Amino acid sequence: MTGPATPPPLPLPPSPSRASAWSAGRWTHQPAAVRSDGTDLLVEAQQGSDAWRHTAYGFVHDSEHGLLAPLPVPGAIEVAFVADYGRTFDQAGVLVRCADDEWVKAGVEMSDGVLQMASVVTHGTSDWSVAPVPDWAGRHVTVRASLDAGALVVRARVDDEPFRLVRVAEFAAGLPVEAGPYCCSPMHPGLVVRFTSWRTGAADASLH
């Protein structure tokens, strides 16, 4: 007797087709250092850099290093980087922003002693969700954010594995949007993130 058939994996979202030059973006806050290494961009975060508003902690931190450019809506962005860091709250990924108090960041963050796939959605105040991904340490991570009709869908993958659905969030409709790679190091000096690509293209055709 055989068990139920295993469902096929979900298809990958279409890969954004347009590569963005690192020079296409502007920094929300200047990093400690930035340099090219071939086609990669190495970004050193300032100690104390972070993005957060109010919830649970009571403070507002607006000092992240986001390299942002206009994102057409509907549209999608993918940022790839190496998750080669391991100190508390060190983080890198994608930042999607339309105002000081309207933004989403999603990426890989060190928290509670383990790498986490983390996302923060901010509408005036911030929330935070995490899922442990310890096996992603030192590997090539791609985070994808797709925006359409007031909804932002975040997916992520490691190496060439299938994308995982991370978050579906409300996002401001009708406002100009900027998006791009970001990193922060709230507690420690010396975080250097290797970003390997930044691409934009069409929004995802469907949620599943």
Global pTM reads 0.91
Question: Tens digits of per-residue pLDDT, 40-88?
Answer: 999 999 999 999 999 999 999 999 999 999 999 999 999 999 999 999 9
- Which of 13, 49, 28, 16 is CA-nearest to residue 179? 28
Q: In this structure, which amino acid lies at residue 117?
A: M
Return contacts of 22-25, CB within 8 angstroms, 24+ apart.
Answer: 22/67, 22/195, 22/198, 24/69, 25/67, 25/68, 25/69, 25/180, 25/181, 25/198
Question: Tens digits of per-residue pLDDT, 125-181?
Answer: 999 999 999 999 999 999 999 999 889 999 999 999 999 999 999 997 788 999 999
| All domains in the chain, ordered by first residue | 18-201 (2.60.120.200)
